[in-house]
Chains A and B, each alone.
Chain A
Amino acid sequence: MRRKVVTGNVAVAEAVKVSGVQVISAYPITPQTVIVERIAEMVERGEMKARYIRVESEHSALAAVYGASAGGARAFTATSSHGLLYMYEMLWWVAYSRLPIVMAVVTRAIGPPWNIHSDHHDALTARDSGWIIGFASSVQEAFDMTVQAFKIGEDPKVLLPVMVALEGFTLSHTAEPVDVPEEELVREWLPPREPLPFKIEPGKPFSVGNLGPDEVSMELRWLMWRAMERSRLVIRDVDIEYAKVFGLRSYGGLGEDFHAKNSDYVVVAMGAWSGDAKEAVERLRSEGYNVGLLRVRFFRPFPWEELREVSQNAKAVLAVDRAVSMGHRGVLGLEVSSALGGKVPVKNVIAGIGGVDVGPEDFYSIIKGFIEEYEYGSIEGWSRPEWYMPWMEVGGG
């Protein structure tokens, strides 16, 4: 184990190296570029025995790793924002072909206006595609989640691609101490990939996804849905096993319970700002408020069981969103209210869009406002989301 002070991007590149990735293809885009630059350097210097395929677009990048993965290789790519949107078609091809590719998505707002800072809109466009989607909350977790992603995705019970989302700049360019396990130990725990669910190779021709009866499409989606359901167990087991094998921390599986169970008020958040939210929760608890936080680590599969468990005795739940579904609520807010099925009133706050800085003081006022609103009796079962924009005189829903 070595403790290094590295940025989120460098941590992901290190994770790709120790995971024994064989093929990388990517197209540069801020703030992801450093990941693939660092990998390219390691391949060039011979520190990584891998093929690096240069391409002319993100669509081609994911198409290239699709081919590599279909050929049995362990494959990785990374992108952000507009790059992810450009590869959107291939996202579905990869998932529907059940190829366990791992992709880092360094989250970045979508333009216009041009903006390189983070919100969650880009990664969440993959919501329904069949990718497992995780959100890291620290540089260490970005490293851990990337290594774990290969183990989870390649599990024969799962065989789904995994997206590791890490906040642009807030994690990608922020340097923090990271404990990096020895490469040999990781390789032992994560042996070379078994070429499943199929392997394309010369001399044994077959075609993937030939035109067939409509029922076949539906059956394939059903099988995929079952695999996604099974992945809940695999994600949890891998989290525990990883912590044991490498002497690192276990995060809690699909979600992290921070004083949430048996609290009167439960806050739900995901990504790097969850740490800021935790500090606010701690401060409120020290002031006598019975409040806790559920951090969503995996957005797909969604931790609805965990959420129901921690909010069993809750009076109200608050979902703080960094993405909004135009015409409805915040994206996380929608997930939280649907998972709770009307059992508990859910307030939804939208903040930090376009990378607007949200710190512990902001979370303090958002959470305290939510508790006061509930106590005054003004939180209904369903309400319009509230836009948190303290710099504007007029805000609200």
Chain B
Amino acid sequence: MLREFLILSRGGQGGVTASRILASAAVLEGLWAQAIPEFGAERRGAIVKSYLRVSDGPIARHSNVRRPEGVAVFSSRILDLVDISKFAPEGSTVLVNAAEKPKIPGREVYYVNATSIAVGLGLVIAGWPLVNTAMSSAMARVFRIASLESVVSALSEYFKGELLKANIEAAKIAWDSVSG
């Protein structure tokens, strides 16, 4: 079965990497996956969309995801700027990086404080907390994409050394602390 997800992040937060980490994790579980960034005239801070598809067979389509079953919002402030109902269809699941649970009517809402996890582990570059690992891990759990073990092994394709250790830690904390 083909499953489709959307990530709304800010340029620099690692939304594109998050979709790739999850694609790798899904492939490690024997699934097929596709991570598509939607590029435009992006710059640091602009809202960036990335798509993720997971399936039990090869994925033929390459177009944008239009009706995702799950949407991950990498900054709760994005909710103040966009009408989330345009991105997350009625009945879909929304996961937000937030300190407390946001209210989004008609959607199943989960939240995780990925910013504080990143800051706590020193995962900050140029003033930007790198929330992508924590968010991928929370996405993997909430959207049931992959196990924590697969997320952790996928991380080694993207990070090395001390950075890898901190990211694995972030993934574990996020997996345990995500709540609905």
Closest-by-CB residue of B relative to A174 is B36
Q: Which of B35, B39, B59, B66 contacts A116 (CB 8 A)?
A: B39
Chain A interface, number of residues (Cβ within 8 angstroms):
26
Q: Which residues of chain A have C-beta atoms less than 8 A from B20's C-beta?
A: 5, 175
Contact assessment for B35 and A5 in the assembled complex, using a CB-CB cutoff below 8 Å: yes
Q: Which residues of A1-49 are within 8 A (CB) of B?
A: 3, 5, 31
Kindly list chain A residues whose C-beta atoms are within 8 Å of the C-beta of B33.
5, 175-177
Most interface-central of B19, B60, B157 (chain A CB within 10 A): B60
A169 / chain B contacts, CB cutoff of 8 Å? 36-39
* Range class of the B interface residue count: 20 to 34
Residues of A contacting B62 in the complex (Cβ-Cβ under 8 angstroms): 138, 167, 170-171, 174, 272-273, 275-276
Within 8 Å by CB of A278, from B37, B60, B63, B64, lies B60
Closest B residue to A274 using CB positions: B60
- 1/0 per residue, CB under 8 A from A, across B33-50: the answer is 111111110000000000
Asked if B93 lies at the interface with its beta carbon under 8 angstroms from chain A, I say no
> What is the CB-to-nearest-CB distance from B173 to chain A, in angstroms, rounded to a whole number?
24
In the assembled complex, B24 has its CB within 8 A of some CB on chain A: yes
Does A359 reach chain B (CB closer than 8 Å)?
A: yes
Q: Is A360 an interface residue when CB atoms closer than 8 A count as contact?
A: yes
**Could you tell me the distance between the alpha carbons of A357 and B49 in the complex, rounded to whole angstroms?**
14
Contact between chains at A273 and B63 (CB < 8 Å): yes
Q: Indicate whether A279 reaches chain B with its CB closer than 8 angstroms.
A: yes
Nearest chain B CB to A180's CB is how many angstroms away? 13
Picked from A3, A5, A138, A359, the residue with its CB within 8 Å of the CB of B64 is: A359
Separation of A362 and B61 alpha carbons in the complex (Å): 12
Interface residues of B in 111-149 (CB under 8 A from A): none
**Would you call B61 and A176 a contact (CB within 8 A)?**
no
CB nearest neighbor in A for B37? A173
The one of A167, A276, A361 that contacts B60, using a Cβ cutoff of 8 Å: A276
Interface hits, A272-301 → B, CB 8 Å = 272-273, 275-276, 278-279
Which parts of A342-370 form the interface with B (CB within 8 Å)? 357-362
| Residues B36 and A173 in contact, CB atoms below 8 Å apart | yes
Q: How near does chain B come to A315, taking the closest CB pair, in angstroms?
A: 25
- In the complex, how many angstroms separate the beta carbon of B65 from the nearest chain A beta carbon? 9
Contact B60 A275 (CB under 8 A): yes
Q: Mark A160-171, 1 if CB is under 8 A from B, else 0.
A: 000000010111
| A175 & B34 in contact (Cβ 8 Å cutoff) | yes
CB-nearest residue of chain A to B17: A175
Q: Which of A5, A116, A358 contacts B63 (CB 8 A)?
A: A358
- Structural contact, A5 and B27, CB atoms closer than 8 A: yes
Q: What are the 9 A-B residue pairs with the smallest beta carbon separation, nearest first? A: A275-B60, A359-B63, A175-B35, A272-B62, A5-B24, A276-B61, A174-B36, A177-B27, A357-B64
A: residues with CB less than 8 A from B are 3, 5, 31, 116, 138, 167, 169-171, 173-177, 272-273, 275-276, 278-279, 357-362
